[in-house]
Amino acid sequence: MKANRAQIDRFLANKTMAIVGASRNEKKFGTQLFIHLQKLGFELFPVHHEAAEIQGVPCVKSIGELPATVKSICLVTHKQATDAFIGEALDHGINQIWVQQFSETEMTKSIIKNTPQANIITGWCLFMYTNPAGIHNFHRKLNKLFGSLAR
């Protein structure tokens, strides 16, 4: 169940965001997304259980360690970890949650259905809605051409 454009715009309205799934490896998708969002002026809080920092930004070890000012989170995680991170985010008062495309599970759909007060976005790539460059811009243009972007 994909989100609509209004949900996406509501998520992106907050320029302070946590990100789970960025790593020290710049070639990994989560880190590429982290770098991209940094360039766009987002204040990012990386969550990583081992790394001390990502791209020079100090990490917190868990979602529970995030400052109370963080109300949005992007999950670029393996499917088997996604739902636990959603639960942790909701428990911490974060109700703007982007689950990166292909990270959702059947349980994710159930969580969305049972948590109507949260804006949980699934099925979309965050790059497509944040002024992408390079290959991501090419993908966005293809998606737009074929009517595959959120409306």
The answer to whether residue 92 scores a pLDDT higher than 90 is: yes
**57-58/53-54 β-pairing:** antiparallel
- What's the CATH number of domain 5-145, 3.40.50.720, 1.20.120.10, 3.40.50.620, 3.30.460.80? 3.40.50.720
Cα three-residue angle 86-88-89, rounded to 5 degrees: 65
Provide the token pair at 108: 């994710």
Read off the pLDDT band of 133 (50, 70, 90): low
The answer to whether residue 143 scores a pLDDT higher than 70 is: no
For residue 46, the cross-strand partners are 19
**CA separation for the pair 58, 77 (Å, rounded):** 19
Q: What is the mean pLDDT of residues 22-37?
A: 93
- Numbers of helices and strands, H then E, in the chain: 5, 7
- Tracing tokens 């868990």 back to the chain, one arrives at 62
Per-residue pLDDT of 33-63, as tens digits, reads: 999 999 999 999 999 999 999 999 999 999 9
